[in-house]
Amino acid sequence: MRTVLPIAAVGVSLLLSAAPVHAHHSFAAEYDENRPITLTGTVTGMQWVNPHSRLTLDVTGADGKVMNWTVEFGAVEALMRRGWKKTDLAVGSEITVRGYLARDGSHVAGRNVTLSDGS
């Protein structure tokens, strides 16, 4: 009985302290590298969140219709290490995104962004 209680206490504490685990996806699982896309549009929002930051922009198609797109970036820390600042992607900024279409056909792309000043 003396050893059962401490072992049970350790087991319960391990269960309570376990953090939830979220599956992570690879680029190839989400995006089709055989379907490159270039989008030019106006930033409508930027979510600096982990595990993936998300940019939304309005893109005017050849037919004149405006469509909202989402661009997935890496983690906040990765963006900051590359020199990005929260002020770089202000709402209303004109940008160009070169990336790859989502495999599921949604208006989601991922990869590189060029600001209106060419940076």
Per-residue pLDDT tens digits for 83-109: 888 888 899 999 998 888 888 777 776
Which amino acid is it at 67?
M
pLDDT band for 64, please (50, 70, 90 cuts).
very high
Distance between CA atoms of 88 and 76, rounded to whole angstroms? 13
Q: Is 41 exposed, middle or buried (0-12, 13-18, 19+ CB in 10 A)?
A: buried
Task: Provide mean pLDDT across the span 30-56.
Answer: 89
Task: Provide mean pLDDT across the span 33-48.
Answer: 91
* Number of neighbours of residue 49 by Cβ within 10 angstroms: 11
Q: What number does CATH give the domain 23-115?
A: 2.40.50.140
Task: Provide mean pLDDT across the span 14-39.
Answer: 64
**pLDDT the model gives residue 15:** 44
